[in-house]
Amino acid sequence: MIIVMRPGAKQSSIDAVIKEIKSNGLDVHLSKGKEVTIIGVVGDKTKLASVNLMSSGDVEKIVEVTESYKLANKKFHPEPSIVPVGNTFIGPGYLTVISGPCAIENEEQMMSTAKGVKEAGATILRGGAYKPRTSPYSFQGLGEEGLKLLRAAGDEYDLPIECEVISRESIETAAKYVDMFQIGARNMQNFYLLKEVGKTNIPVFLKRGLSSTIDEWLNAAEYIMSEGNKNVVLCERGIRTFETATRNTLDIAAVPVLKSKTHLPVLVDPSHASGVREYIPALSKSAIAAGADGLMIEVHIDPSKALSDGPQSLNIPQFKELMKELEDYKKITGRK
Amino acid sequence: MIIVMRPGAKQSSIDAVIKEIKSNGLDVHLSKGKEVTIIGVVGDKTKLASVNLMSSGDVEKIVEVTESYKLANKKFHPEPSIVPVGNTFIGPGYLTVISGPCAIENEEQMMSTAKGVKEAGATILRGGAYKPRTSPYSFQGLGEEGLKLLRAAGDEYDLPIECEVISRESIETAAKYVDMFQIGARNMQNFYLLKEVGKTNIPVFLKRGLSSTIDEWLNAAEYIMSEGNKNVVLCERGIRTFETATRNTLDIAAVPVLKSKTHLPVLVDPSHASGVREYIPALSKSAIAAGADGLMIEVHIDPSKALSDGPQSLNIPQFKELMKELEDYKKITGRK
Amino acid sequence: MIIVMRPGAKQSSIDAVIKEIKSNGLDVHLSKGKEVTIIGVVGDKTKLASVNLMSSGDVEKIVEVTESYKLANKKFHPEPSIVPVGNTFIGPGYLTVISGPCAIENEEQMMSTAKGVKEAGATILRGGAYKPRTSPYSFQGLGEEGLKLLRAAGDEYDLPIECEVISRESIETAAKYVDMFQIGARNMQNFYLLKEVGKTNIPVFLKRGLSSTIDEWLNAAEYIMSEGNKNVVLCERGIRTFETATRNTLDIAAVPVLKSKTHLPVLVDPSHASGVREYIPALSKSAIAAGADGLMIEVHIDPSKALSDGPQSLNIPQFKELMKELEDYKKITGRK
Amino acid sequence: MIIVMRPGAKQSSIDAVIKEIKSNGLDVHLSKGKEVTIIGVVGDKTKLASVNLMSSGDVEKIVEVTESYKLANKKFHPEPSIVPVGNTFIGPGYLTVISGPCAIENEEQMMSTAKGVKEAGATILRGGAYKPRTSPYSFQGLGEEGLKLLRAAGDEYDLPIECEVISRESIETAAKYVDMFQIGARNMQNFYLLKEVGKTNIPVFLKRGLSSTIDEWLNAAEYIMSEGNKNVVLCERGIRTFETATRNTLDIAAVPVLKSKTHLPVLVDPSHASGVREYIPALSKSAIAAGADGLMIEVHIDPSKALSDGPQSLNIPQFKELMKELEDYKKITGRK
């Protein structure tokens, strides 16, 4: 941590900052330039977490030079993590494909979907039982009834399952059925929820918030991990920008950035990122090429009848076609 | 709702869309241009909420021409709402000033702050007992102990109190103490939480999400109102943009936009919007001039010792000075 | 300037950076922490402009602690500047109102507009003769013929005039007619154009780019000033964000931020910022309350017939009404 | 074009809009719903370009259903275009790699670079002679002297060359040397400049503006094409968002979006998009996988001595290594 003082800062202000740092058991390195004085903090800066150095009017800015996340940080855990989910693994060497409908609707839908995506090569089955929707008048999900349908379909076709959770109650219920929890984009900084899933030992699929920085995202993972649950998988799903040709803007660079900052696996969700079916194949390939450990792709047996997110869902034949196209990419990137 | 078909859409696609609409008890108006065919939907489009018209490949786009929020909509409730909070009111004719520290720290802090802000003219006392922080290693709030300190300070100085809630448990606890709940920016689309506060009869102070559109914000208010709680107050607190000179970008135009779209009161929070103490006076004045019903301003008895958000907090003398400067603006905009 | 080395940076990399700095006639202050080494640069860092310290793999980041603009910087010119334009002045103590149509269309339009805005209290007349339009098929302006109409109307009603320029040719032509040049948002980083207007002695009205930071904006002003022309006026006109309820997002905080960083006058353009006529009065008041030195407001004698930007233009009676409403704000902020 | 009237619009307003449309030689389709009336415009809407329908207070919004660009539009030119540049081609079947330094510095640099990138497999040599820099005190380029060095290097190693132009003067000079002009991101809406390159018959490499929508970008291409020059190549180079981990955010979805909207070739510039050398290989692969027709990659013989953009430049061995890694992607996507 570096404290940059304003030009012409009073010596008393500089002394006060130094005193504050030292009183927290840390040391300083002082650098006096012609225009500005800079104070470098030496030692474990988490000791300064609740100290407010900037409120002195003479401090111009504080520059962080180390990240506030530790457990998620590659610096302290250089080996990439592999997260086990049911009968499969997410991480280097694998190409995970999580597939299924946005919302669980009925038994026939889930069974047909599970059959179709299994045949196509998907490794995990997804389905939403608790749907966060912008309007309170949109379909909100089947709840526990949906989880039962999802579990049955997963069992029938030997696929681990995952479902979004939105509250402590839904965590408790879903824990009885699923192999992986999902934290949705709108809840990425619902710190209460992060801590609750952190107290379980079920892997967590953590989607990036619509306007969250990569740094905030890794701090969200840290919330889960600091409660004891180390099985976190990150999912880039597009960020909010001014561009309206796609529903969100897929931040493809997040893949190599994360690979340089964290040991956690990284997936990409081209369905939510684009919101448009015809762009999904191109984005899926680009994600694998960029080094993602897998994909989440929405599939519906009949998108025109989907209760949610129809326009961005592939049907089973389209999904099979895409999976075939991905074979070449799997091969040249060395995945199972 | 208008459905725009792609150029060269097949007649069978057009017929299918029309059939789908009619089977939901709605009527259509067909408009065939040289390049495109347009289908207007006549009737209550909420009937179409779970129908997926866009998944047909021949639909180019769907244009909403009416808003999905009803209870928050000025069209159906043209008179501005006035929300009672303890011994005061928020809405036209009033200038609400909510003031207090980011985080409740101890009794002395709360009593001194309450005394100071009351003398300066604040109408509601705030303080955080449950703090959502980016890093799990930052101070997370005192919980119920904090609420007791806040209540005592409010009682001593005859100020209604408000506090952020973050979970069902915190709602249940806070309901015993506070006059108004706050839903923070990071939870604006935590629909589970919105419904929970909607089931109470305690007024809700709903901050705008960091990257939420005004339309999404009003739908979030609708979640609360559709559960029965009509006492919602909106608070613009800055949105996330590329600009880094301020912590967020205060969207001052949100004030007149909201005034044209909803009957709910609108406040502005210049402290979080700017993140910089010296910009708060200018932004406070601009908010009142733009027509806001009030302000939320962070005040700390000693910002340099604040456990959270020190750099953007005013001390008591600065706050008193600001309140004096606002007198002229109060007068020319006709507030009590 | 501070150079932060990566954790575990080799001593040879550190030495190389230090050597590079010293070979440019500057000095360093070295600060070695447990995790990172920090190198502070002492002296005039513009000497380092063309040196590339970061390309060493062992440099983590470079933090600027001083701004790259000098002539526009308040630190070196603490007194606010007052810019003379024809028979009026822009700066502290004045409330400038620049008014007129987006595009100059014909004599009758310009004469009526000039008469109307003069009566209402505008201080400068504007009109576009060279229109940058998104589509090549939209109206592109009347060129020199338009400038003649603008000059005649300004002369008739004793109003200084200003017009956007877009090329060296248009600068040469406009220089014969106008009292102030305008550089539009899309050209804010057209550095060639900035230098060209910098070589004249005609005041320049510099609009902020759609996605330009305040720092980039002040550097754009520096381009003009470094060529010799010190009469620059800044105009905040909204930035591009995800919000679509308004055409752009008025960054009202830019006003106090600029007032703390530069001595140049600052105006606000609520017409382009919102794109919606009904929001203009609220935004105009908020701009004055925030400390802006004036406003640019689009006025058209018959907005429904405007060749450009009709929806955001006020007609003469609306403009007169607004100017009357602004009287109170003028008074309490002490402007002539 | 669809005109949506406000709820409760007066019949006289509706009639006025219809009359205005018809007086321009177009026809309407009227659709009266319970809440809103919708007017569809039938015929060539460019006839309405200078008519202002929205200024009537009773018009809620106007929805464009056809694009304003024609020559760049895939609808009217379904076959993908192939643009010849010197001895090579850009478009389907080819994998173009444009390479070279940000700024031309001296003969030795250009000759070594040309030799290195040619050996690695680059197809076009780039170099900046006119540099748009944020600060006026940064290196601004060698001008014509630089163009001579670039031409000589291209001739020696049989590589076509391209260089950014920033003014009419630079176009005139560069026309004597280069095989392709570049319009930089900051000039994407410098419509004057677009028209000037449109009047030549030299291919134009059009970079996307930092905050330009895809629609605005295609309209910028239309400016060039409408002057007669059909040889336009688009280059996605990252857009400005809130994320700071990379210099810009590469909008990878722009590739499939453009492929669905235009027949023009699309390249990707991972160097400017990320600003960080280590992310360039991942982004290059993802661009090819997404369907881009090629890449622009900054290469410098000694990035640590580069006068501009060093941190994002590859050196020759890194570039050769990357080109080798791209071979697999070239093969599976069927490029020469």
Hey, what amino acid is at C56?
Answer: S
What DSSP state is assigned to residue B18? Answer: H
Q: Are D202 and D317 in a shared domain?
A: yes
Q: Are D131 and D36 in a shared domain?
A: no
For C307, the closest chain D residue by CA position comes to D50
Q: Are A22 and A98 in a shared domain?
A: no
A275 dihedral zone (left: phi>0; alpha: psi -120 to 50; beta): left
Q: Longest Cα pair distance anywhere in chain D, in angstroms?
A: 75
**Does residue A69 fall inside a structural domain?**
no
Which of C7, C38, C244 lies at the smallest CB-CB distance from A2? Answer: C38
Which of A52, A133, A139 lies at the smallest CB-CB distance from B310? Answer: A52
Which of B49, B55, B132 lies at the smallest CB-CB distance from A311? Answer: B55
Kindly list the residues from chain A whose CB atom is less than 8 angstroms away from the CB atom of residue D214: 243, 245
Q: What phi and psi, each to the nearest 5 degrees, are found at residue C87? A: -90, 15
* Host domain of residue C128: 74-332
**Does residue D68 fall inside a structural domain?**
no
**Does residue B39 fall inside a structural domain?**
yes
Interface contact flag, D137 C223, Cβ < 8 Å = no
What is the percent of chain B where pLDDT is above 90?
Answer: 72
Q: What is the pLDDT of residues D258-278, one digit of tens each?
A: 999 999 999 999 999 999 999
pLDDT at A268 over 60: yes
Interface contact flag, D190 C190, Cβ < 8 Å = yes
pLDDT at C35 over 70: no
- The Cα–Cα gap between A265 and A247 comes to 25
Interface contact flag, B278 C288, Cβ < 8 Å = no
pLDDT reported for residue B55? 62
- The Cα–Cα gap between C121 and C157 comes to 11
The two structure tokens encoding residue C72: 């526009």
- The Cα–Cα gap between B60 and D82 comes to 28
pLDDT reported for residue A59? 81
Q: Are D219 and D242 in a shared domain?
A: yes
pLDDT reported for residue B68? 84
Which of the pair, C29 or C113, is modelled with greater confidence?
C113
pLDDT at D163 over 70: yes
Average pLDDT, chain B: 91
pLDDT reported for residue D238? 98
B114-123, C1-10, C46-55, D87-96: the lowest-pLDDT one? C46-55
**Mean pLDDT of the region B13-28:** 83
Beta bridge partners of C262: C73
* CB-based contact D116:D299 (threshold 8 Å): yes
Residue B96 C-alpha, separation from nearest chain C C-alpha, in angstroms: 18
Beta bridge partners of C79: none
pLDDT at C57 over 80: no
Average pLDDT, chain D: 91
Pick from D65, D73, D210, D247 the residue to mutate for testing the B interface (most B CBs within 10 Å): D65
Which of A46, A134, A187 lies at the smallest CB-CB distance from B137? Answer: A46
User: CA quadruple D87, D91, D95, D97: dihedral positive or negative?
Assistant: positive
Question: Which residue in this structure is represented by tokens 């919602």?
Answer: B232
**Does residue D119 fall inside a structural domain?**
yes
pLDDT at D66 over 80: no
Which of the pair, D13 or B171, is modelled with greater confidence?
B171
Which of B169, B210, B304 lies at the smallest CB-CB distance from A52? Answer: B304
Question: Which residue in this structure is represented by tokens 């009937």?
Answer: B47
Q: Are D222 and D310 in a shared domain?
A: yes
Instruction: With H, G, I as helix, E, B as strand and everything else as coil, classify residue B39.
Output: strand
**Does residue C69 fall inside a structural domain?**
no
For D69, the closest chain C residue by CA position comes to C135
Q: Are C204 and C280 in a shared domain?
A: yes
**Does residue B218 fall inside a structural domain?**
yes
pLDDT reported for residue A33? 67
B215-224, C138-147, D107-116, D144-153: the lowest-pLDDT one? C138-147
- The Cα–Cα gap between D287 and C52 comes to 28
pLDDT reported for residue B51? 61
Q: Are D99 and D196 in a shared domain?
A: yes
**Does residue C20 fall inside a structural domain?**
yes
Which of the pair, B204 or C13, is modelled with greater confidence?
B204
- The Cα–Cα gap between D150 and D110 comes to 6
Kindly list the residues from chain D whose CB atom is less than 8 angstroms away from the CB atom of residue A252: 250, 252, 283, 286
* CB-based contact A162:A146 (threshold 8 Å): no
**Mean pLDDT of the region B137-154:** 93
Q: Are C13 and C152 in a shared domain?
A: no
pLDDT at D331 over 90: yes
pLDDT reported for residue B56? 64
**For residue A239, what pLDDT band results from cuts at 50, 70 and 90?**
very high
Counting the structural domains of chain A, the total is 2
Which of the pair, B294 or C13, is modelled with greater confidence?
B294
**Mean pLDDT of the region C61-82:** 87
pLDDT at A44 over 70: no
**Mean pLDDT of the region C270-274:** 96
pLDDT reported for residue B273? 96
- The Cα–Cα gap between B111 and B102 comes to 15
Q: What is the pLDDT of residues C208-254, one digit of tens each?
A: 999 999 999 999 999 999 999 999 999 999 999 999 999 999 999 99
Q: What is the pLDDT of residues C75-118, one digit of tens each?
A: 889 999 999 999 999 999 999 999 999 999 999 999 999 999 99
pLDDT at B47 over 70: no
Q: Are C166 and C56 in a shared domain?
A: no
Q: Are B37 and B160 in a shared domain?
A: no
**Does residue D106 fall inside a structural domain?**
yes
* CB-based contact A48:A23 (threshold 8 Å): no
* CB-based contact B240:C218 (threshold 8 Å): no
The two structure tokens encoding residue C25: 């006639």
Kindly list the residues from chain C whose CB atom is less than 8 angstroms away from the CB atom of residue A243: none
**For residue A51, what pLDDT band results from cuts at 50, 70 and 90?**
low
Q: What is the pLDDT of residues A65-119, one digit of tens each?
A: 678 899 999 988 999 999 999 999 999 999 999 999 999 999 999 999 999 999 9
pLDDT at D43 over 80: no
User: CA quadruple B86, B92, B93, B96: dihedral positive or negative?
Assistant: positive
Q: Are D128 and D49 in a shared domain?
A: no
Q: Are C148 and C9 in a shared domain?
A: no
Interface contact flag, D305 C52, Cβ < 8 Å = yes
Pick from B234, B248, B260, B286 the residue to mutate for testing the C interface (most C CBs within 10 Å): B286
pLDDT reported for residue C44? 65
D: neighbours with 3+ CB pairs under 8 Å? A, B, C
**Mean pLDDT of the region B243-258:** 96
What is the percent of chain D where pLDDT is above 70?
Answer: 95
**Mean pLDDT of the region D1-10:** 79
- The Cα–Cα gap between C190 and D190 comes to 8
**For residue C331, what pLDDT band results from cuts at 50, 70 and 90?**
very high
**For residue B252, what pLDDT band results from cuts at 50, 70 and 90?**
very high
pLDDT at A162 over 80: yes
Q: What is the pLDDT of residues D8-37, one digit of tens each?
A: 788 888 888 888 888 878 888 777 766 677
Kindly list the residues from chain D whose CB atom is less than 8 angstroms away from the CB atom of residue A332: 328-329, 332
Rounded (10°) angle between helices C316-332 and C107-120: 30
Among the ranges A242-251, C41-50, C136-145, which has the highest mean pLDDT value?
Answer: A242-251
Residue D50 C-alpha, separation from nearest chain C C-alpha, in angstroms: 5
Interface contact flag, A252 D283, Cβ < 8 Å = yes
**For residue D105, what pLDDT band results from cuts at 50, 70 and 90?**
very high
CATH of the domain at D262: 3.20.20.70
Interface contact flag, C213 B242, Cβ < 8 Å = yes
Residue A145 C-alpha, separation from nearest chain C C-alpha, in angstroms: 37
Instruction: With H, G, I as helix, E, B as strand and everything else as coil, classify residue C177.
Output: coil
Interface contact flag, C32 A29, Cβ < 8 Å = yes
Provide the CB-side half-sphere exposure for A249 (13 A, CA). Answer: 27
pLDDT reported for residue D28? 81
CATH of the domain at B11: 3.30.70.1140
Residue A322 C-alpha, separation from nearest chain D C-alpha, in angstroms: 13
Instruction: With H, G, I as helix, E, B as strand and everything else as coil, classify residue C154.
Output: helix
